[in-house]
Structure 1
């Protein structure tokens, strides 16, 4: 058996204690048939010294939950791992850049379709009011540029006052009503090859599709028309040799596919919906070993 490391949350953070071991178990179950054993290690124990990781043939940063609440330390850790030459996939340079949603703006500059977005350094009521008129919408989404799991994400209607605004750099976008009717679609890629497709929908009255908010997930037999083209365009624009990627998208007002996220750090792979329980993920990992 080949031993690899999987980075996990800070053990001092109780908010994930009941969740991440189950995710680790699913990953371990997918990798075991390929002769790969996973060993958990908190990412926060390797911020300034990578010696505890350099002995592994491969490190997967797949459960680094909580990095968005300590982003400066996260970026410092990525620099440490890169300088030490840790064999990490996806690479430290990629997961560092991917932790700030400004990467969406860079992809848009390369022609990738994203929702109209106003980038602000600190959200104000004036910013929100201006967005309604600028994008001709009556509902907007406000989210921090550094976030995870819809953390501090707000949905505001025209005339509604901004409260509990996220601090620091943020983004404001028109709310896509298709999230409630058609849901968000995720395409999972391992080793650059499409593995499976999952559709995610919020429960009635909710706009967030994450499991903790009651999101309902369903595997699709194939990508909807046009979705694969956007995903492949996104991966080409990223231009990195990625072990894994989850490309999240939703449909705009005219039915066009828009990139919501390109999850390259610690995406949920939805292995329960993957062919043979994640055999393609295991094959991609084994190929890198």
Structure 2
């Protein structure tokens, strides 16, 4: 069996303790069937010294949850791993820039359609108030540029006071009603090839589609019309050596697809909804080994 390391959360962080072991187990099971043993390695333990990772033929940052809460150390870790020559996929350079959602602006500059976005350095009430008129909407989404799992993500209505606003660099987007009616669609790519597509919908009254907020996931027989074109356009604009990618998208007001996220660090592959994707991921890993 070939040993690979999977970066995992800080074991001292109780907020993830009930979820990540199950995700790791699904990944480990899929990899083991391809002759690969997955070994957990808390990412926080290797930030300043990569020697604990250099012995692995491959390191997968698939469960490095919590980096958004300690972003400076995450960036330091990415720098350390790159300098030490850790064979990590996706590469340290990619998981560094992908941790700040300002990358969406750079993709938009390359022609990838994203929701209208207002970038602010420090969120205040005036920024939110101005966004309603700028976007011509009565509901906006406010979130930090460095976030994960809808952390500090708010849905704000016109006239509503902005409370618990994110600290530091943030982003504002118009709320997309299609999230509630059609949900968000994710396309999973392993080794550059489409593996599976999953539709994610929030429960009634909610706008966040993550499982911790009750989100419901369903595998799709094939991507909706137009979704694959946006995914391919996004991957071409990224133009990086990627082992895996999850391209999240939703429909805009005109019915066209908009890129919500390109998850290249620790995306949930939704193997609980699409278990066949595990074997495809394992084959992609095996090909790299």
Task: Name the TM-score, length of structure 2 as normaliser.
Answer: 0.99
Unaligned ranges ≥5, structure 1: none
TM-superposed CA distance for 1:277, in Å, is 4.9
Question: 1:1-289 maps to which residues of 2 (within 5 A)?
Answer: 1-274=1-274, 276-289=276-289
After TM superposition, the runs of 4+ consecutive aligned structure 1 residues lying more than 3 A away are: none
Q: SS where residue 113 of structure 1 aligns?
A: coil
**Matches of 2:277 and 2:32, distance apart in 1:** 11
Does the 8 A contact of 2:91 with 2:241 survive in 1? Answer: no
Q: Aligned to 2:33, what secondary structure does the other structure show?
A: helix
CA RMSD of superposed structures (Å): 0.7
Q: Distance in 2 between matches of 1:229 and 1:241?
A: 19
Secondary structure in 2 matching 1:259 = strand
Give CA deviations for 1:90-118 in whole Å, capped at 9, x if unaligned: 00000000000000000000000000000
Distance 1:243 1:15 in 2: 28
- Kindly indicate whether the alpha-carbon contact (under 8 Å) linking 1:7 and 1:42 is maintained by their aligned counterparts in 2: yes
Say whether the 8 Å CA contact 1:185–1:249 is kept in structure 2: yes
Structure 2 CA distance for aligned equivalents of residues 196 and 276 of structure 1 = 9
- Paired with 2:236 and 2:273, the residues of 1 have a C-alpha distance of 25
The DSSP-based 3-state class of the residue aligned with 1:245 is strand
Q: CA offset at residue 18 of structure 1?
A: 1.6
- Contact persistence 2:217–2:273 (CA under 8 A): no
Moved more, 197-206 or 264-273: 264-273
State TM-score, norm by structure 1.
0.99
Shift of 1:275: 5.7
Measured after TM superposition, the shift of residue 196 of structure 1 is 0.2
Deviations 1:241-278 (A, max 9, x none): 10000000000001000000000000000113336351
Consecutive unaligned residues of structure 2, counting only runs of 5 or more, are none
**What is the aligned length?**
289
